[in-house]
Structures are given as C-alpha cells and as structure tokens.
Structure 1
Amino acid sequence: MNKHLLGVIDATTHIEDLEELTSHRSVAAIPFGGRYRLIDFILSNMVNSGIQSVAIFPKFQYRSLMDHLGSGKNWDLNRKRDGLFFFPSPRLDKPIFGINSFEHFAENMDFLTRSTQEYCLISNANTIFNMDFSPLLDWHIDSNCDITEVQKNGRSINLFLVKTSLLLDLIHTRKETGYLNMKDVVTDLNSPYRVCHYSYEGYALTVDSISTYYAASMELLNREIWEKLFLQERPILTKVKDEPPTRYTSSAVVFNSMIANGAQIEGTVENSIIARGVHIAKGAVVKNSIIMQKTVIQENCVLEHVILDKDVKIEQGTTIIGTEQVPKILRKGSIVKGECVSS
C-alpha cells in the first residue's frame, strides 16, 4: 500500500460560518473532542492505511497547525525518505479556486513530479471519519476508474483518488481545460475521464459551520458514534502532551462527558466535552458545552450550550446560556465578569 498512494491534504479552506473559531487558526487546526484537531482524522486515516508520504497545503493562519503537527512524529511521518511536507501558499493575495485548487498545487509541482507513488489521494482537512483506504484503492483499480470521488449518502466528502500522472496533467492543462480543482472535473458532464463514485458506509461528517461542529462534538458522547470513530485497529492519532490525570474533587459531579488530561473538576459537568487543563470550580455547572484548553470557570457559574475557546476566563457567578441551534461562543482569551448572557 505504501508504494502506491501519496496523501495530499488541502488545508486552505476558509469557511465564513466558522470564523468565530478561526480568527487565530486554520479550519484544519480547530480543536475537537477535547484533545484532537480536525486534521487528525484524515491524517490518521492516511497513516493507518499505510501512506508514508503526506503533503499539506495550508494558506492562512497555519502557525497553530504547524505547531500541532510538528515533524509528524506522532503519526510516524518523521522519516528520512517520504514523510510529512508543508507547502504554504507563497502569495496570500493569489486566489485559490475552491477545495483542491490546481493553482496552489502548481506552485509545488517539483514535489508532485518527484513523488514515486502511482496514485494520489486528495482530501480536505475538516471531515470527521475513520476510513481504511485500501479497499478504495482496490475498487478504483478494479473498476478501471480515472478519478474516484468518495461520497456519503450521495454527497461528496471532498475525497478524490486519481493517478498521480493524471493529476499532473490536470494541473498543467488547467488554463486550457478550465478545470480549476477536482470538483470541476468530476462535475463536468462532458469530462473525458471515467469518473466513479465510491459510497462510504461508515460515519462521516464534514465540519463546515458552527452548527455542524457543535453537532459532531455532541455526537461523540453517543457511544455508538464513538465506537465508529475510535477503533483500536485504526486509532486517531494526535499530538501527545504529557499531562497528569484529571483531578476530581469530592464535590465533582460528572455525567456523560469527555474530559481530557490535566483538568481539575470541582463542579458539575453534564453532556459536555472538556479539554486539557480546564478548571471548573466548586458550584459551577456546565451542560451541553464544549470547553477548550486551559479555560477557567470560577465558582457558581452556569453554562449551557456554549463553546468556549482556549484560555477563556468566566468569573464567579456568571450565567451564559445558548441554544442547541445557536450555541453561545466566546473567542480565545475572553474574560466574562459576572454577567448573564443568553442567545
């Protein structure tokens, strides 16, 4: 498998409906599940499928993403041959035409030309799923496809399989054909290529809005969904941080929640996702919420249907109430002092 597939992850996506979480990070680097980032899913899927060479194409706000991935060590991609590669766009003012833009790929043709893998798997960085790509490659070859688009319930998840040589041709001829990205090719009814559609039957959800992000996060608390995503034989890998276990005091009450290492829980947590290093003080109540890293919630606060970004401080006696449809979001570093905030 590792001799056949090259992994290409498009991390250039900018989504207006996620701007409250991307003022200082890319969509690919949005925290998820208390200890992961969105990109961890596609990157882990590639590595678990035997892919040993992965190129990531970011554009905006990618410092957090690069800090998270580092050399690729946690994904076994810190290699002398192949490994993990970053190709940021050298011109921020240059337009990128959709997901998997050939214009961005063209700026790094040397990498694609030198690649020894016969096939290329091209994906976005914000779909949550756990997929083995070996059956996909076999199906693609057996079906004599030029391009395979992976779909879930008839809708694309922006995952494409193509011969590397054909991808190079598409990039070289983009101005003549008018194909600016992979979507243009597969949706052209007059395309000269044999385009196939592979139906993925497992769990898959593309995070493209605050509502889908919140829904996907809350679905993790469903044991059935959890077991579809986090498989022992195909683990979702992430950056390892050596932190102590979470400390629960005698006043802590926790129900149906995910709590990462390094937290301190003294209050009540229900149906929520709590990231590393969070402190929830005595008398505080957190329900149906997503609390990101190193946030502090002081005594007697009430939070429900909220998303708190990293390093937020909620001071004593504050009440913040959102709704399932419109969760209340506080940006990184926000400080709320004794207010009652509701959607």
Structure 2
Amino acid sequence: MVNLNAMGIVFPNMHDSVIPELTAHRTMASVPFASRYRLIDFVLSGMTVAGVQNIGVIVKKNYQSLLDHLGSGREWDLARKRGGLTIFPPSGDSGYGYHGRIGALKGILPYIESAKEKYVILADCDVVCDLDYAALVERHAASGAEVTIAYTKEKMTPALAKNNISLSLAPSGRVRELLINDPQTGKRNLSIGIVVLGREQLVEIVRTGYAKGLVKFEQDILAKNLDTMKVYGYEYTGYRSRIADMSSYFDANMQLLYLENLNRLFPEERPVYTKVRDEAPVRYALGCKVKNSTVADGCIIEGEIENCVIFRGVHIGKGAVVKNCVLMQNTTVAPGVRMDYVITDKDVSITEGQYLGGTKSFQVFVKKGSTV
C-alpha cells in the first residue's frame, strides 16, 4: 500500500443532533448501517485503501459503542507501532469536551504538530459514500489550493435546509461564497463534510483561531476569509447517502436493496471493512419467505420478510410478517407479529401478536432495549 502523505482526522460526534433517536447512547459515527456496518467504516476504509496510515478520531460523548467497534483498528490495518489509529477522549472544562472543530483540533494540536504527513483530511461521518481519497488529495495538490472541500450537487430538502454547508463556485472551481444552512431551494453544491488542507497550515489556523475565540472551522475561518484564502471545491459524483434525519437514514438503508446502488457503494477496488464477528450463517427455517432483503450473519428467519435490512442476531418468529423494516442487532420478533415501516434499535423485543406500522415517509422507531 502506498503512503498518501496525508493523515486523517475524524469527527464522530459532529452531526449527532440530526438523528437524536439513534445517537442518545452512541455517536453518529457508530450508528449501524446496511446490516453489518457502522457509518465510520466508510470513512476509515476509504482512507486506508487510499494509503492513509495515520488517523485520529476525536470523540466527544456517548463513545463507548464506538470504542467497542474500533478496538485497536486491526480490521482497517491501523494497528501499527507508528501511526495507525489514535482515539482521543473528550478534553476541556465541560464534561462534554470541545465546542466546534477549532476546540477539538486545539485539544490534539501536539498530535498534529508531531505528524510527518504533508496534508490533513478532516472528515465527518454523516454522508455514506465511496470517495476516492487519493484522487481528492492529488487534486488538492495539483490545483494549488490552500483548502479543498468535497461536495455533491443535490436537491435541497427540508431536512437538509436545517443542516448544510453550501458552496457557490467560480468557473475555476474556487469557492466564492460559503453559506451555512443555506435556505435556497433547488440544486445546490453541498459539502459532504470532507476537507483537505496542509498540516502546517492547519496548525496555524487552529492556533490563531483559538486565540481569537473562534469555534467553527467553516463558519468562522473559511467563510470569512475566502478573499484571501484559496478555497476550492472538489465535486464528488459517485454514490452517496446523506443522513439528515430518521427518514433519510431509513431511505439510505432501503436504497441498498437495489443491486446497482450496492455495487456503486461497494466497488471491488475499494472494499469497505468492518469489525469481524464470528457468528453462524443465517438459518432459514422451512416455510419461511424472504424477498428483496439483506440479512446479516447470526440471524434466524422463521417467518416472512420483504424489503428489509436485517442486522446480526435478529430472530423473526414463525408466522411473523415483517415488511419495509430496518431491524438492528439482536431484535427479536415473536410469532404472529405484523410490522411495516419500522426501525428498531439494538436488543428490542416485539411480543407475540403485536402490530407496528408506519408509513414510507414516517417510520415507527423503537428505542434500544425496549419490549413492545
């Protein structure tokens, strides 16, 4: 594997507020996705496949599940004597640690200063995509940009309007205007939360910004210095799913029931790695019915499922009919249950004879450890 000469810094808590139902006890980065993955898997895998060998993860709160998932970083080839995966616990006077990216980066400044890489990739975990990080860094270096922001052209939705960074670009690709929570409708150039800049430059930005009491990297630093700072956009045109609320989370999982989307997100040349669990294969009982669903290992299917995303260790009882659902790890569905448009968190039990039903635009959510 070639060293990309770039280090990565991941912000796992940065968008927790958009799906509070799923982040009450975990970070956005550790939200389960697509039967067996966590959202951070796509960031870590993309970086390591591109040759990034030094990645820091700055946690803020509710990070126990993230620590359990990442471990030493072995699954992503990040268990190294030099570099590898470094997880930074919360720092600061508040029990919840930093406020904004500047505060987060100030807390790990010695780590950034001691690194040898020329570039830094800053990444959030709310957009699932197959970004070629090597191509991004190469474009950044070739363009002469000081900062490069990866973006996609997307139609604005009500959920996105509450949480977006929009770019207005010159024909050269240089960012002329950077808007926070742009209310304009139609197609917009929306950041996917991945930024590249020079490591030494980042150190200077953090030192100066923190001394001035600045908090937000995009709003306080980039948006106010576009005239003097060379900030360019990098359009990503591959497959992506943006998690902006519970409905978009549900849709993002459901889209992967289509083979075309699955192949685009999981290309052979850029595999996605996750924590390995040695569990038995799925057990399909006689008489069960399975249609257009993804089912992870360790599951027992005795009833009927259709258009479902099923995580590890789920048990669907005999006679149960489950359609259009996302069922997370160790969910138990008793015999005779009817479910349609439901999202269950981990360790949920649905008792015999129950009916739970939502709609395509508004799904029923059952919180972690609940019995219904």
TM-score of the pair, normalised by structure 1? 0.94
**Aligned runs of 1:101-180 on 2, under 5 Å?**
101-153=101-153, 154-175=189-210, 179-180=214-215
Counterpart Cα distance in 1 of 2:87 and 2:361 = 36
DSSP-derived class of the 1:335 partner? coil
Instruction: Specify the alignment match of 2:9 in structure 1.
Output: 8
DSSP-derived class of the 1:250 partner? coil
1:108: how far off? 1.3
1:90: how far off? 2.1
> Retained in 1: the 8 A contact 2:302–2:317?
yes
Moved more, 15-24 or 64-73: 15-24
Instruction: Specify the alignment match of 1:188 in structure 2.
Output: 224
DSSP-derived class of the 1:148 partner? strand
DSSP-derived class of the 1:243 partner? coil
Q: Give unpaired runs (5+ residues) of structure 2.
A: 154-188
Counterpart Cα distance in 1 of 2:18 and 2:107 = 28
Change (3 A) 1:61 1:175: closer
> Retained in 2: the 8 A contact 1:170–1:179?
no
Amino acid across the alignment from 2:136: L
Matched, 1:247 2:248: no
Counterpart Cα distance in 1 of 2:216 and 2:84 = 25
1:95: how far off? 6.6
Instruction: Specify the alignment match of 2:329 in structure 1.
Output: 293
Counterpart Cα distance in 2 of 1:175 and 1:75 = 33
Amino acid across the alignment from 1:158: G
DSSP-derived class of the 1:65 partner? helix
Matched, 1:77 2:113: no
Q: Percent identity?
A: 36
Q: Give unpaired runs (5+ residues) of structure 1.
A: 337-343
DSSP-derived class of the 1:251 partner? coil
Counterpart Cα distance in 2 of 1:122 and 1:191 = 22
Amino acid across the alignment from 2:106: A
DSSP-derived class of the 1:173 partner? helix
DSSP-derived class of the 1:138 partner? helix
Counterpart Cα distance in 1 of 2:83 and 2:346 = 34
TM-score of the pair, normalised by structure 2? 0.87
> Retained in 2: the 8 A contact 1:41–1:127?
no
Matched, 1:327 2:363: yes
Change (3 A) 1:209 1:190: same
Change (3 A) 1:295 1:123: same
Instruction: Specify the alignment match of 2:49 in structure 1.
Output: 48
**Aligned runs of 1:241-280 on 2, under 5 Å?**
241-280=277-316
Matched, 1:306 2:342: yes
RMSD: 1.5
Amino acid across the alignment from 1:119: Y
Change (3 A) 1:214 1:3: closer
> Retained in 1: the 8 A contact 2:91–2:97?
no
DSSP-derived class of the 2:56 partner? strand
Amino acid across the alignment from 1:31: P
